[in-house]
Amino acid sequence: MKTFQFFIILCGLSMCAMQSNNDGLLLQRPYSFIILDGEISRLELRGDTLLYLHGRIHDQRQVGHLSQLTRDSSKRSRIHTIRRDNDVIYLALERLDNIPLSNSPVRENRYHVLAIRQPTDHTIEMVDLTMGMTKIELDSLWALDLRAKDLFFITYFSDDHWKNLSLLKPIDTEEDAREIVAELKSEKVKEWADAYMSNPVKDMYGTVFTAEIMNRVCISLGYNPIGASRAVQELTSR
């Protein structure tokens, strides 16, 4: 009887710990990032697995259907370990997708680390700290103090906030476009670029960084960021 009672208590503690970890992950709902050409990158937590979903938005009116525009990707990672440092949560992740047509389909360097924080209820920010680590390398890194607060984070928004952003002022005139271009040359953007250069992991072609900058600038000026890059290019090339 005592053994059974101990088992019940242990299960209860485990469930509380799982709930606590899930609360701290800040991923109680999906969050999306829209890249310059309309490509959607979407994060969704299912159990202990973080899914990287992808899709494309072709029309402003589709912004209310982001969940339908994205599909499951083979890229998914299991949460291996969680650490919290004030407002930043560090996730050690294990990639679950295998290498196709390989004699060794399970990647040896399948571990990576990212940092997540939540500045507002409808926003999360994410930055990759490592990619392609072995378990030994992960354990060595995890034993150190991780620092991400001064890095350049990429901003993901909830579905309802994307709807709100789509209602901001459209970029309709050359004057609108010139205002955005001027802000893109500001000292603030240069500071963001310097911060991005400190990131340990960067996207190969800089498209994610460029999209993040465009989103930040448009939102700060009160413009709808969806499709902003294309609108600015068209209006300034006339």
What are 43-56's pLDDT values in tens digits? 999 899 999 888 88
Q: State how far the alpha carbon of 130 is from the alpha carbons of 110, 112, 203, 225, in Å.
A: 11, 5, 12, 29
CA pair distance 14, 18, nearest whole angstrom: 6
Tens-place pLDDT, residues 124-148: 999 999 989 999 999 999 988 898 9
Is it the case that residue 155 has pLDDT exceeding 80?
yes
Indicate if the pLDDT at residue 150 is higher than 80.
Answer: yes
* pLDDT over threshold 80, residue 62: no
Average pLDDT, the chain: 84
Give pLDDT, residue 3: 46
Q: What is the mean pLDDT of residues 143-172?
A: 92
Question: Is the pLDDT at 38 greater than 50, yes or no?
Answer: yes
Cα separation, 124 vs 156, in Å, equals: 5
227 against 238, higher pLDDT? 227
pLDDT at 169 over 50: yes
With 60 as the cut, is the pLDDT of residue 184 above it?
Answer: yes
pLDDT score for 69: 74
Q: Is 132 left (phi over 0), alpha (psi -120 to 50) or beta?
A: left
Which pLDDT belongs to residue 35? Answer: 83
Q: Where are the domains of the chain?
A: 27-158, 168-238
Q: What is this structure's pTM?
A: 0.83
pLDDT computed for residue 11 by the predictor: 40
pLDDT category at 99 given cuts 50, 70, 90 is low
**Cβ 157 vs Cβ 211: under 8 Å:** no
Which of 52-66, 104-118, 195-209 has the least mean pLDDT?
52-66
High-pLDDT (> 70) share of the chain, %: 83
What pLDDT does residue 105 have?
Answer: 62
Give me the pLDDT at residue 59, please: 67
- Phi and psi at residue 124, to the nearest 5°: -125, 155
Q: Is 166's pLDDT higher than 70?
A: yes
